[in-house]
């Protein structure tokens, strides 16, 4: 009874734990954004814009080079009426395109849901239990796409061709996505810490609140990982979903945030943003070469 099933169950449980830990690492990385305040009183707008640009370049490059490429590689032609006259190549791309569109729709819906319910970091220190529940709910909706991207990138965990680490065969895409989202979370942690600093919140507590803002990511990662493992025929859609959400987040949130911060800089922050984006893309180029 324990002969065949238990080892497989144990292995799958270990896989889920690993994915959760990867998501937790990205959440902890948000706390790095608060670390500069242990050393300095303020972080310049110029460096803030560069960080947002770096995160934008990393996320777009990781989505295009990694998630989209993996989605196309995993896709098979959809069975559609012959009368449509679609080639096998077009029918193969359809699952990915459907996923991309669904990812964009998710972010649009998220924006609509949390519009008017945006959480001001200044409320963190003053929040009671009910307020914290509301804050966590908003953050869960906001952080879900990042968690999905992590979970989907681990879809091939344990398969051949992975990177051996701690006894696991980890897909290289999962390594890149974990690193990419961790780096992306640093400027988010900084953005959360700045208003907390204005309230004279101690740096140690700022680190905690920054990490708290990304705690839903490991949960989202596990949910997405479990789904694509159970329903592998939807794997290309899952890759597209994560890529669409990530790219649209960059366009709708990261870049506008960077330009808003850099509005008073010479050139309105465009030079710093461009430099950050190019550096982020350059960091992810190895993903396109493997």
Mean per-residue pLDDT over the chain, rounded: 82
pLDDT at 131: 58
- DSSP E strands in the chain: the ranges are 163-165, 168-170
Which has the higher per-residue pLDDT, 20 or 284? Answer: 20
At 233-260, the pLDDT tens digits run 788 889 999 999 889 989 988 899 889 9
- Say whether pLDDT at 83 is over 60: no
- Say whether pLDDT at 6 is over 50: no
According to the per-residue pLDDT averaged within each range, which of 53-57, 105-109, 139-143 is highest? 53-57
pLDDT (average), residues 18-40: 91
> DSSP characters for 216-284?
HHHHHHHHHHHHHHH-GGGHHHHHHHHHHHHHHHIIIIIHHHHHHHTTTSGGGGHHHHHHHHHHHHHHH
- Say whether pLDDT at 4 is over 60: no
Query: How far is 189 from 204, CA to CA, in rounded Å?
Result: 13
Q: What is the pTM of this model?
A: 0.80
At 140-165, the pLDDT tens digits run 666 778 888 999 999 888 887 788 88
pLDDT at 72: 84
Q: Please choose, from the candidates 252, 207, 272, the residue with its C-alpha nearest in 3D space to the C-alpha of residue 60.
A: 252
At 173-197, the pLDDT tens digits run 898 889 889 988 888 888 778 777 7
């Amino acid at each position: 009874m324990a002969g065949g099933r238990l080892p497989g169950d144990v292995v799958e449980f270990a896989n889920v734990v690993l994915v959760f830990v990867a998501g937790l690492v990205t959440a902890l990385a948000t706390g790095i954004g608060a670390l500069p305040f242990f050393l300095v009183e303020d972080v310049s707008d110029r460096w803030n814009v560069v960080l947002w640009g770096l995160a934008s370049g990393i996320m777009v490059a990781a989505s295009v080079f990694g998630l989209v490429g993996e989605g196309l590689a995993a896709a098979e032609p959809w069975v559609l009426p012959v009368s449509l006259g679609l080639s096998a190549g077009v029918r193969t791309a359809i699952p990915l395109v459907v996923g991309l569109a669904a990812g964009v729709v998710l972010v649009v819906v998220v924006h609509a849901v949390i519009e008017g319910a945006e959480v001001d970091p200044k409320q963190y220190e003053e929040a009671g239990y009910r307020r914290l529940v509301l804050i966590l709910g908003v953050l869960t909706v906001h952080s879900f796409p990042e968690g999905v991207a992590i979970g989907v990138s681990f879809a091939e965990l344990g398969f051949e061709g992975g990177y051996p680490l701690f006894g696991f065969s980890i897909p290289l895409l999962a390594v890149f996505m974990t690193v990419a989202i961790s780096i992306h979370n640093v400027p988010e942690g900084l953005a959360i810490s700045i208003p907390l600093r204005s309230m004279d919140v101690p740096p140690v507590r700022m680190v905690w609140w920054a990490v708290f803002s990304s705690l839903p990511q490991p949960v989202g990662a596990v949910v997405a990982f479990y789904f694509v493992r159970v329903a592998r025929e939807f794997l290309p859609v899952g890759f597209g979903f994560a890529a669409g959400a990530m790219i649209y987040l960059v366009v709708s949130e990261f870049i506008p945030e960077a330009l808003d911060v850099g509005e008073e800089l010479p050139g309105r922050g465009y030079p710093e943003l461009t430099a950050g984006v190019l550096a982020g893309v350059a960091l992810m180029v190895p993903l396109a070469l493997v």
